[in-house]
Homo-oligomer: A and B are copies of this chain.
Amino acid sequence: MTESASRTETPKAASGKRTDRARARPNDADGIGLDALVGHAGYAVRRFQIWIFQDFVRTLAAVDIKPTQYSVMTVIGANPGLTQMAVANRLGIERARLVHLLDSLEGRKLVKRIKSKSDRRSHALHLTAQGETSLAKFKRLATEHERHVEEKIGRENREKLLQILSDFT
C-alpha cells in the first residue's frame, strides 16, 4: 500500500546517543514517516498539549500548582461564591473529581468552602486571604509559562491559535 520499502530493520539506529536525539524531538529526521498522521489535527494537538502541560508544570513547580488547580483557583478568584457544580461545569471537570481538588486546595489553606445559607446542599467557594496572594504569584508564573509558548511557536502564531480555539474556552 504505502510506498515505503519493507526494510527488515536496523535496530541500532545512528550510534551511541540515539536515545537523546530520539527523545528530544519527535519529528526528528529519523527517517520514520508518519503517513496519514500528518494532516490529522488531533495528533498534532495531542503532542502540543503534552509539551505545553509539561512546561506549565515545570514553570510552576516551585509553587506546586498544576494546570487544573490553577484553573480552579482562577475561576474561584474571578467569581467568588460559586458552587462546586458551577465550577465543575464551567471548567469541564466532573464534580466527583473537583471534590478531591478542593480537598487539596483547602488543605493548603488556599480555598475555603462556606456552607450556603440559601441552599444547604451546596458550598460557596472562596479564596482565602493567603489564596489571593498566592494566586497572584501563580499568575505571574503562568505568564512566564505563556512566554515559553510564545518562544516555541511564535507570538502571532500563539495569538492565532488562541483565536482559532476561542470557542473552546
Q: In the complex, how many angstroms separate the beta carbon of A21 from the nearest chain B beta carbon?
A: 9
A71: Cβ under 8 A from any B Cβ: yes
Residues of B close to A16: CB separation below 8 A: none
A34 B67 Cβ-Cβ under 8 A: no
| Pairs of residues from A and B, 5 with the lowest C-beta to C-beta distance, nearest first | A35-B78, A44-B165, A47-B168, A22-B89, A9-B81
Per DSSP, are chain A's interface residues mostly helix, strand or loop, or mixed? helix
Contact partner of A47 among B23, B81, B154, B169, CB < 8 A? B169
* Copies in the assembly, this chain: 2
A15: Cβ under 8 A from any B Cβ: no
**Binary flags per residue of A22-47, CB closer than 8 Å to B gives 1, else 0:** 11011100101111111111111111
A42 B56 Cβ-Cβ under 8 A: yes
Residues of B close to A92: CB separation below 8 A: 26, 47, 50
Contact partner of A161 among B32, B44, B67, CB < 8 A? B44
**Binary flags per residue of A66-87, CB closer than 8 Å to B gives 1, else 0:** 0100010011011111110110
Residues of B close to A74: CB separation below 8 A: 34-37
Contact residues, A106-129 vs B (CB, 8 A): 116-119, 121-122, 124, 126
